[in-house]
Amino acid sequence: MKIGIINAGNIGLNLAVGWIRHGHDIMLSKDTHPEQLKERARTLALGRGLSETELSRFRYGSLADAAQFGDIVVMAVYFPRLEHVLEELREDGVTLSGKIVIDTMNPLNVDASFNHFHDLKFMEQTSVTEKLQREFPEAILFKAFNNVPAGLLDIKKWSDGHSPSIIFIGGNSVEDAGQVRTLIETSGFKPQFAGHDLSDSRILEKLGILMHRLADSEYGGDTGIAISVIKSQSE
């Protein structure tokens, strides 16, 4: 698959490393300090065991380049930068028409002390996924990867007998859900489909509130937690 990643930060880069291993073609982009993206990708990829040959297969471009390149486009934008990124895409005439768009984002804002908090007012009215659908009405929207910390998107961190984290999916196309499931499975994770109503992406985003509460209350502020589901065997 050809995958364009819009604003490849921690989530986008971790996903890209897993996908390049499976032969996908990846283009990375960043709206701030794009000149640093190649070195960031190199550091992460080599640390995850990619070869120089695999590393050389990454492509780099502008936000619009990545949007045009991918048959699948991953929106992995830092939420406070979302309006700026959307404005750049609008100015470049990007419509994402007919493309599968995977939204990995949560509505997390940041205060003057760089503390992150959920934008509850925004969450009462809509979701990031619905906002993207309004912005790109001809795109095929899916929500996924928004409830697993970036550092846990390395399947090797689940190799000590623990069942890999599940990745919840919500999306508005029955026909295209299989491609998203395949991307999740090739990364080593287990997809769990939550339905075709994009308004349900609000539930998936609100799950982030629970995860942050658990991190603060149960795990001493350690956000390196994720959810796994084990189905009981029938007797």
Q: By the 8 A CB rule, do 167 and 228 touch?
A: no
Whether residue 235 has pLDDT greater than 60: no
Hey, what CATH topology would domain 2-218 get? Rossmann fold (3.40.50)
Q: In the chain, what are the domain boundaries?
A: 2-218
**Angle at the Cα of 43 from the Cα atoms of 37 and 45, rounded to 5 degrees:** 95
Judge whether 189 and 22 are in contact, CB under 8 Å: no
pTM over 0.85: yes
| DSSP tag of 160 | S
DSSP state of 179: H
Instruction: Outline where the chain has alpha helix (H).
Output: 10-20, 37-47, 52-55, 63-69, 82-91, 120-125, 128-135, 177-186, 201-218
**CA distances to 24, 52, 53 from 21, in Å:** 7, 12, 10
Q: What is the pLDDT of residues 85-103, one digit of tens each?
A: 999 999 999 999 999 999 9
Q: Are 109 and 81 in contact (CB under 8 A)?
A: no
Would the pLDDT of 76 be above 70? yes
Of the candidates 96, 107, 154, 111, the one whose C-alpha atom is nearest the C-alpha of residue 129 is 107
The owner of tokens 């769990």 is 192
Average pLDDT, integer, range 198-221:
92
